[in-house]
Amino acid sequence: MRTRSAALLLALALGADAAACGEPSEAERFIQGTWSYSGTVPGEPLHRPMSFMIEWTFASGAFRQSGYPPLLSEGRYRVARAEAAAIALTLYAQKGNFSESDRTISIAIDRGANTISVDQGPTLRRKAK
């Protein structure tokens, strides 16, 4: 009886682990690649206009956020929640200009326009390879 119980527990544990490492969701597959946005902040009487850009790259559990003025954050992600038009990612093992504490970001997905928006920020377009 003990042997059967131990085998059952082992099978359940391995099955749960395999399910956790299962196929990526449709939303996670959609966000793979590099997404970018650029623009200009208008000048004021005492300041000149300033250009800026931001890029997010998602690649099979790794992320990178970069931009200008210079910023950099990179690390790993895991899917916290995935839906048809949105995905939430927990960022961890981060290094760069921001906090290294784990944080969760929400990404809105617009498949029709082929765009995403991270944490209600600007609309990012997929960057050509």
How much of the chain, in percent, has pLDDT values that exceed 70?
83
Q: pLDDT tens digit string along 60-84?
A: 999 999 999 999 999 999 999 999 9
Q: What is the end-to-end Cα distance of the chain in Å, rounded?
A: 58
Q: Are the C-beta atoms of residues 65 and 71 closer than 8 Å to each other?
A: yes
Q: Is the pLDDT of residue 8 over 50?
A: no
User: What angle is formed at CA 128 by the lines to CA 57 and CA 23, rounded to 5 degrees?
Assistant: 50
Percent of the chain with pLDDT strictly greater than 90:
69
Q: Assign 52 to helix, strand or coil.
A: strand
Q: Please give the average per-residue pLDDT across 11-32, as a whole number.
A: 68
Sequence-ordered list of residues with C-beta below 8 angstroms from that of 118, at least 6 positions apart, any chain: 56, 105, 106, 107, 124
**pLDDT at residue 5 above 80?**
no
pLDDT score of 45: 81
Q: What is 68-106 written as a DSSP string?
A: ETTEEEEEEEEEEEE-SSEEEEEEEEEEESS--S-EEEE
CA distance 107 to 57: 13
Cα–Cα distance for residue pair 110/120, rounded to 1 Å: 13
- What average pLDDT score do residues 107-129 get? 94
Which letter does DSSP use for residue 7 in this model?
Answer: H
Per-residue pLDDT band at 14 (split at 50, 70, 90): very low
